[in-house]
């Protein structure tokens, strides 16, 4: 049996109420008793019973970290890095409870109000919106990561993928490329769309035509990048630069080039997105757009903590910037 405030109370010759107050730094208690009780508690190795606290305070000390099943189509490291950032900020203040949700899941039944003091939702797919609405209806403080939903009044932390891509494509244009292809990510992924829009706008606003033949579908996996690149290389009029919507597809694309005996970057430039840990060390190191995944987790967590502890937060949305990293896989024309 572990030590309770009643045990401490008995030994200190006070009521358990006094102990409770002393340990919670209530102003109603004299400095002297507070010190005495705290020392005693420390000595006895007192640890508060979370269940009892939860029951009376209507707090669970749980933070739900949710995402959709679609996350399985993302590179495995993505979720972990976000996660890592979050848990760094949360520390021991809350339990971080991870769950993959289906949009068919009954959120009302499985995510009861009482179970989570706050929610961090990592959104990857547009269809997540259904779940987000349901979660929002629970009236539990929530922060959405990886997607801009400030219009709906939700707190969100996301990366400006549009500008990130646009800058990258503009860099290629400035380097003399005019025939620039894109390998898109999964149709329904938010990041895919943003990156695609950045690509399109960069071309348009620099007076370049959008060539439908240069737009290929991919699935964020190396093999889809391979296939897409393969079909680009079959074109009579090949592009001189290819933007792969993520590094994993860029790897596949590079492999296709090596099959066709196409030299990177001499024959074709390749640009990725994400900057994964291996990207710098590919045989031809990959130029890419670095996305601050861990930082996104940290920001999201600290906003949620602000809401939970201070009851308010300075701004509804936090937008993070990417960095363009130029390595060996891109070259001027």
Complex with a second copy: residue 163 or 298, whichever CB lies closer: 298
Complex with a second copy: residue 13 or 104, whichever CB lies closer: 104
Q: How far, in Å, CA of 99 to CA of 74, rounded?
A: 16
Locate tokens 């970290």: which residue? 65
Task: Identify whether the C-beta of residue 320 lies closer than 8 Å to the C-beta of residue 158.
Answer: yes
Residues 3-22 that bind DNA (CB under 7 A): 4-6, 13-18, 20-21
Q: How far, in Å, CA of 310 to CA of 9, rounded?
A: 31
Q: Does 92 engage in binding with a second copy (CB under 8 A)?
A: yes
Among 98, 138, 316, 320, binds a second copy (CB under 8 A): 98
Using CA atoms, how far residue 15 sits from 18, 28, 94, in Å, is 5, 14, 29
Nearest of 224, 240, 82 to residue 176 by alpha carbon:
240
Which of a second copy, DNA, none is residue 245 near (CB under 5 to 8 Å by kind)? Answer: none
Which span sits near a second copy by CB under 8 A: 50-58, 136-144, 202-210, 230-238?
A: 50-58
Q: Does 76 engage in binding with DNA (CB under 7 A)?
A: no
Q: What angle do CA 168, 186, 132 make, to 5 degrees?
A: 100
Locate tokens 């910037």: which residue? 321
Among 97, 126, 213, 320, binds a second copy (CB under 8 A): 97
Phi and psi, residue 74, nearest 5°: -95, 160
Q: What is the DSSP letter of 189?
A: B
Task: Identify whether the C-beta of residue 125 lies closer than 8 Å to the C-beta of residue 70.
Answer: yes
Burial 54-74 (b: 16+ CB within 10 A, else e): beeeeebebbbbbbbebbeeb
Q: How far, in Å, CA of 174 to CA of 176, rounded?
A: 5
Residues that bind DNA (rule: CB under 7 A) add up to a total of: 29
Q: Site mask, a second copy, residues 252-281, x = CB under 8 A?
A: x-xx-xx------------------xx-xx
Among 120, 124, 241, 251, binds a second copy (CB under 8 A): 251
The residues that touch DNA, with contacts defined as CB under 7 A, are 1-2, 4-6, 13-18, 20-21, 23-24, 28-33, 46, 48-49, 52-53, 55-57
The residues that touch a second copy, with contacts defined as CB under 8 A, are 2, 45, 47, 49-52, 54-55, 60, 62, 75-77, 79-81, 83-84, 87, 92, 95-100, 108-110, 112-115, 221-223, 225-226, 248, 251-252, 254-255, 257-258, 277-278, 280-285
């Amino acid at each position: 049996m572990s030590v309770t405030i009643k045990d401490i109370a008995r030994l200190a010759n006070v009521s358990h109420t006094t102990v409770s107050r002393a340990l919670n730094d209530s102003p109603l208690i004299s400095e002297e008793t507070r010190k005495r009780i705290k020392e005693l508690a420390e000595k006895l190795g007192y640890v508060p019973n979370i269940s009892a606290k939860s029951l009376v305070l209507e707090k669970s000390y749980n933070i739900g970290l949710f995402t959709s099943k679609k996350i399985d189509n993302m590179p495995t490291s993505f979720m972990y890095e976000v996660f890592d950032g979050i848990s760094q900020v949360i520390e021991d203040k809350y339990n971080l409870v991870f769950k993959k949700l289906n949009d068919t899941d009954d959120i009302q039944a499985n995510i009861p109000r009482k179970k989570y003091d706050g929610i961090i939702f990592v959104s990857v797919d547009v269809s997540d919106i259904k779940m987000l609405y349901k979660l929002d209806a629970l009236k539990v403080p929530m922060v959405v990561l990886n997607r801009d939903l400030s219009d709906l009044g939700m707190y969100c932390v996301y990366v400006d993928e549009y500008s990130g891509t646009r800058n990258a494509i503009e860099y290629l244009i400035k380097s003399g490329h005019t025939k620039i292809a894109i390998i898109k990510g999964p149709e329904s992924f938010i990041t895919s769309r943003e990156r695609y829009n950045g690509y399109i706008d960069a071309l348009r606003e620099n007076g370049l035509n959008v060539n439908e033949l240069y737009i290929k579908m991919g699935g964020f996996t190396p093999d889809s990048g391979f296939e897409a690149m393969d079909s680009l290389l079959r074109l009579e009029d090949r592009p001189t630069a290819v933007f792969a919507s993520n590094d994993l597809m860029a790897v596949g694309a590079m492999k296709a080039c090596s099959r066709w005996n196409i030299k990177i970057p001499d024959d074709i430039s390749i640009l990725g997105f994400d900057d994964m840990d291996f990207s710098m060390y590919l045989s031809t190191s990959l130029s890419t757009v670095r996305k601050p995944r861990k930082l996104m987790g940290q920001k999201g967590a600290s906003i949620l903590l602000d809401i939970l502890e201070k009851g308010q937060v300075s701004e509804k949305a936090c937008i993070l910037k990417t960095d363009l990293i130029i390595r060996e896989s891109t070259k001027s024309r």
